[in-house]
Amino acid sequence: MRIGVPRETAVGEKRVATVPEVVAKLVKLGFAVSVESGAGEAANFSDDDYRAAGADVVGSAAELWAAADIVFKVRPPTSDEVALLREGGMLIGFVWPAQNPELMQQLAARRATVLAIDSLPRQLSRAQKMDALTSMAGVSGYRAVIEAANAFGRLFNGQITAAGKIPPAKVFIAGAGVAGLAAIGTAANMGAIVRANDTRAEVADQVVSLGGEFVKVDYEEEGSGGGGYAKVMSEGFQAAQRKMYAEQAKDADIIITTALIPGKPAPRLITAEMVQSMKAGSVIVDMAAEQGGNCELTVPGEAVVRHGVTIVGYTDLASRMARQSSTLYSNNLLRLAEELCKAKDGKAVVNMEDDAIRGLTVIKEGTVTWPPPPLQLPAPPPKPKVAAPAPAAKGHGHGAGEPMSGTALAVVFGLGAIVFLLVGLYAPAAFLAHFTVFVLACFIGYMVVWNVTPSLHTPLMSVTNAISSIIAIGALIQIAPPLDAAGAADRSNTLILALAVFALALTAINMIGGFAVTQRMLAMFRK
């Protein structure tokens, strides 16, 4: 089968559906690839690059569409392009079936098979390699910060110079999905103070890990709508959210909005009053401009100034980084082609039993199959039940972590006193002296070891070094034996002396190694 890659006809669109690097991989799958002349020029891919990768370069769009069994596109096709599609052919690209019912009918009339890359069931972990929405959102989030910095006209990071002090820019990001997280990471790396909000509470840790601060709405409601999107929130939550946004608008220098709900117009988050309350020279980048915008004053496709605030409503953020976004998008389509052509024989097979392919397929041989049936996701594993501890009987022992009762403590000390009394009455005098030293050593050793404060060590290293120090003291005592009656050192037991020297050497190695490791650990945190 032949894959056709036409030049994108949408105004300002610079991306191309396949790059030369991916063409070579498609050829290895058994496909023939045709590219319209000039399709990759705006993304800095020449016709010669495609020829070198094994593609045929076709002079006109009509010739390409007529020869292609499968067409790879970025933007949804126009009516003229649908008319060029071969009857019974296959189209893969962004289609947005909920927003384009007329286009769906036109494609169905051509008996086409259409795989909408925007309809991929993103809940499936194995579908991530085909997730073009995530790829494009990441690029768009990065580019949104670049556009904001360009319009802001000031440094993002704070500085203290001879000419004066420059405060860091304050950036607020509404929505912490893929695009929002990319924007958070980029702005934080540029030195700005970044705050972000999202209706999904689970993204708070991700925001913090990227260097931002999560701003919570003072209203308890979960906002996860499944598939990586947020859901429409209650009126009470929206009122509390508007109040929080109004406070952030007064303080922020830059606001980047990313909020979208699939199949619905973009929610209005920033009102005209909030824009008016912002400082002169502030910037709003509305990444939802193509779906109506999150800001009330956004003009899709343009950058306008309202109340001294620049509102950027560009709808081609990913296209403004055409080479990067084209490479990512073409890799997503390559992974899809691998799923369609598992035999690597150049024939695409649409397996409707495959959940990922079924979700992508919005039209099958002229029959509209969108929306797909709900996914049957496996149920999460049940949480292990923790058995409740059995209550201890009154007066008999104590639970874990509970202090010993007075009665039990008295019994223990009483038994200990009886044992010591029996030892004192019946044991030899020499044994009694050694036993007393042993008991005192255990008590003192316990207090010394377990009361070590791990200031410069891990707790385990602190304890091992403390034990080693006690062993070293004991070994030193044995190396310097007591004096005999004549005042000379008693060195009659050479075995004990040898063991003491050996123990001292081992403990010295352990202690020196512990401090060496500590120094290396501390050096990791020094710049």
**178-189 and 132-152 helices, crossing angle to 10°:** 40
- Each residue's pLDDT tens digit, 437-457: 677 767 666 666 666 665 555
Q: What is the mean pLDDT of residues 73-95?
A: 97
Task: Please give the Cα distance from 212 to 256 (Å, whole number).
Answer: 14
Beta bridge partners of 116: 93
- Each residue's pLDDT tens digit, 373-386: 988 766 666 656 65
Task: Please give the Cα distance from 453 to 114 (Å, whole number).
Answer: 67
- Each residue's pLDDT tens digit, 281-325: 999 999 999 989 999 999 999 999 999 999 999 999 999 999 999
Q: What DSSP character marks residue 295? A: B
Distances, alpha carbon 412 to alpha carbons 112, 232, 424, 441, 444, in Å: 87, 65, 18, 20, 20
> Above 50 in pLDDT, residue 399?
no
User: Can you give the pTM of this predicted structure?
Assistant: 0.71
- Each residue's pLDDT tens digit, 414-438: 887 787 777 777 777 667 666 776 7
Tally of CB atoms within 10 A around 398: 11
Distances, alpha carbon 391 to alpha carbons 387, 388, 395, 399, 417, in Å: 12, 9, 12, 8, 31
